[in-house]
Structure formats: C-alpha cells, structure tokens
Amino acid sequence: MAKNPEPPKLAKRRLNKHSHLKSGRTIASTRERPETTSERLEAKKKIKKRQTFRVGFTVVLFLIVIAVVVTLVIVFLKNRAENEAETTPTTVVKTYKPTIEIVNENPVSGITTRMTEYIGQLEADLRDLSLTPVKAVVPAGAIREVDFYLDGYTGFIKTTIDRGSGVTAEDTERMLRYLKEQGIGEFTYIDVRIDGKAYWK
C-alpha cells in the first residue's frame, strides 16, 4: 500500500536585519519629509552669506595685491631717482663780476644784468688768452652789442651778448694773431659778432 506524500513545508519568512522597514510601515513612510518654506529661506540665506563672504574676501585680497604692487613701484622709482641723482654730474655755472670800466653810451636803456654778466665772463676769457681788456662800451643805438678795448691795441672789438664769451674770445685772439702775421699793427675795430666770420677795419 503506497504512502501518502508529506505536505510541502512553508518557508519561514526571514527578516532582513539591515532593513529599516519595521512592522506596520511602508516604503513611502521612510521618505524624507518635505522642506518647509522657512527652511528653504534659511538655506538660501546661508548660501547668500557664503557667496558674499567669498566676494568680499576676493575684493580684499585684490586690493592688498594692488597696494603691494603700487608700493613696490613707488620704492623702485624713488631708488632709481636717487641713483640717477648720485650718478648725474652737477653742472656748475660760474659767473664773473667785471673789474674793468663799463661805459654806457646808450641813453635809451641802461646796462642789464645779462649784459653785466657777459662783460665779466668775456673779460675772464680774454685774460685766459693773455689779452688784457681795459674798458667795455655799450654804444649808442645798440641793444646787444658791447665793444671791448684791449691794452696795447688802438682799435676795439665788437662783440654781442648773443654769442658765447668763450668762442668770442678765441675769435678775437685768432684775428689779432692774423693781423700781426700780416704786419698790420693798427686797426679801427675787429668785428667778431658772427659765428665763423671776423671782420676788421
């Protein structure tokens, strides 16, 4: 006689230990609750504060960099100016006071400061060339002309304050030497008012 088969055993339901589901709860019940309006506003305020802080920090950092760069440029330019001042030679313009007699034959205008300085400088330059001026005359009707009389010569030297006293003295000495070489001992005047040219009478 055949035995009756045993009825199938029901599998026991095992609970997942890691499951967050508990008895009586559904999957929907485990979802996060929706944010409220106040929470969203608070979150936006925090984000805005962070952004404002970042922008402010960036601006401050940029200003600091600019200030450092400007300071370095100022220090560099100051040091450069000081170095150039130390290395640049100082030009000293020496003035001479005339010691010879000055005669003004021009009643319209007096003897200016510039004219006085020119007479003193040309007097010194002539003495450096072993020539001895004894008198300077401002002729009538002249504005920039000064006539120099030299010791040992009958004539005078026509000069102008618009030319340098050094080249005027050199032209005078050169012309006197030329006349001496030509055997001319007397003259009325020598005109050295024009660069590169000299006349005598």
The pLDDT tens digits for 150-192 are: 999 999 999 999 999 999 999 999 999 999 999 998 999 999 9
Do 141 and 81 belong together in one domain?
Answer: no
Do 140 and 190 belong together in one domain?
Answer: yes
- Domain membership of residue 123 (yes or no) is yes
- Domain membership of residue 16 (yes or no) is no
Do 185 and 125 belong together in one domain?
Answer: yes
Q: Which range of residues forms the domain containing residue 169?
A: 101-200
Q: What is the distance, to the nearest Å, from the Cα of residue 118 to the centroid of all Cα atoms in its chain?
A: 34
Do 162 and 72 belong together in one domain?
Answer: no
Instruction: Kindly tell me the burial class for residue 161, based on how many C-beta atoms sit within 10 Å of its own C-beta (0-12, 13-18, 19 or more).
Output: buried
If you average pLDDT over every residue of the chain, what do you get?
81
Do 59 and 131 belong together in one domain?
Answer: no
What CATH number does the domain containing 105 carry? 3.40.50.11690
Do 127 and 173 belong together in one domain?
Answer: yes
**Beta carbons of 21 and 27 less than 8 angstroms apart:** yes
Do 108 and 130 belong together in one domain?
Answer: yes
**CA proximity to 137, closest of 127, 146, 124:** 146
Helix (H, G, I), strand (E, B) or coil at 172: helix
**CA proximity to 169, closest of 186, 146, 187, 185:** 146
- Domain membership of residue 28 (yes or no) is no
**Beta carbons of 107 and 140 less than 8 angstroms apart:** yes
The pLDDT tens digits for 50-103 are: 888 888 888 888 889 888 888 888 888 888 887 776 666 555 557 788 999 999
CA distance 45 to 26: 35
pTM: 0.54
CA distance 126 to 168: 9
Write the CB contacts of 104 (distance below 8 Å, at least 6 apart in sequence).
Answer: 110, 111, 137, 138
